[in-house]
Amino acid sequence: MTRAADLPGSASLVLAAGVLHIDPEPAVFKAMLDGWAMQQRTRFLKAQTIQSRVDLVRRFAAFTNEYPWQWQASEVEAFIYHLRSGQRPIVVSTARGYQNALRLFMEYVTDARYAWPRECEEKFGQAPVQILHEWNTVAHVAEYEGDPRRRPLTYDEVQALFDAADARVEEIRARRRKGALAAIRDAVLLKTVYAYGLRRREAWGLDLADLRHNPKAKQYGRFGALYVRWGKSSKGSPPKRRTVLTVPEMDWIVPALEQWLDEIRPAVIPGRLSALWVTERQSRLSRRSVNEAFEAARDAAGLPAELDLHCLRHSYVTHLIEFDYPERFVQDQVGHAYASTTALYTGVSDEYRNRLLQRSLQRHQELWGTS
């Protein structure tokens, strides 16, 4: 049987033995957070995930002005209500994420194997209890809970976005200002995100070595596929990898990437950088800059402000479906573990649905004949 002292995050590992604290409450609370962080690190969770959870617990403690062994269910309800009532109210998915993080923390400090209940009883006369239950947390009843205004772009909107990105290059050149090379980079970057259905981090992390030949599509040369190494990871796992093939409907990306690699990128003088997207300061383009490139083109094209970079990935999925690619192929291209996730990304047009209907009617005319 595992002893409490053997478990990473146990009170005995983060509380100094035999030390009398002048203010024991904040000392024990800090030790709880340190122990919880330790416990999560042993599960190989991302440092960013761990830090955001710890910060949330601190934020909740500041809201209640109490310590975990004093918390009650009514306080977490008041906390969520407060966050819903501000100038920037949280959405349902955010509320659920906060509740899940707080629930995990309470599961940790109420687990006798980590010895926190005993420590709190001895020092403060009361032990922490779970304050989040099924009856006071957000139920997950819908597959998609995002902003309904976020959607795939139409073909015309995609073209308008790219036209606006290209026009920015000409505008900078006409004014004889610096930044034309960066503008070309941003335009090719946005086209690459759409042409391969990439997430922001996946596009950001591309290196020159990730450009692949496809022996079945030799006409695309070194751009027959992209090897994605920074796919979305599961909890505690490294980033997932996949190969995304260049499809004929998106073959216009090949000359765009050729121009970037053969003409524009060398002019930036990237040195020995392996990154595909580089800045004039000889560094990899930041993830924030990827977002900013999309937002600048979106605003210049007059597209709705609710559309974001990830909508290009939704557009890619939708358009592949409308190009009649099998759903399994689309699922593999975008790296979804489940077909239901791919379905959430899909927003096919009425024209496509009517085309499917006409095709079905032509195949089964005998069912619709008149006697």
CA nearest to 137, candidates 86, 97, 84, 105 = 97
Burial 263-298 (b: 16+ CB within 10 A, else e): ebbeebebeebebbbbbeeeebbeeebbeebbebbb
Residue 229 annotated as catalytic: no
Q: 199, 200, 284, 319: which one is catalytic?
A: 199
Find the catalytic residue in 123, 287, 310, 355. 310
Other CB atoms within 10 Å distance of the CB of residue 1: 4
Alpha carbon of 61 to those of 33, 92, 211, 322: distances in Å?
12, 22, 48, 50
Q: Which of 43, 213, 235, 364 is catalytic?
A: 235
Active site residue 328: no
- The catalytically annotated residue of 298, 314, 319, 336 is 336
Residue 310 annotated as catalytic: yes
User: In this structure, what token pair is assigned to residue 173?
Assistant: 């050149």
- With a CB cutoff of 8 Å and minimum separation 6, the contacts of 37 are 9, 50, 54
Say how far apart CA 138 and CA 95 lie, in whole Å.
Answer: 7
3-state secondary structure of 336: coil
d(C-alpha 229, C-alpha 261), whole Å: 20
* C-alpha span between 359 and 279 (Å, rounded): 49
345: annotated active-site residue: yes
The answer to whether residue 336 is catalytic is yes
Unique residue bearing structure tokens 């809201």: 63
Catalytic residue among 53, 185, 313, 319: 313
Cβ atoms of 237 and 208 within 8 Å: the answer is: no
Sign of CA dihedral 317, 321, 325, 328: positive
Active site residues: 199, 235, 310, 313, 336, 345
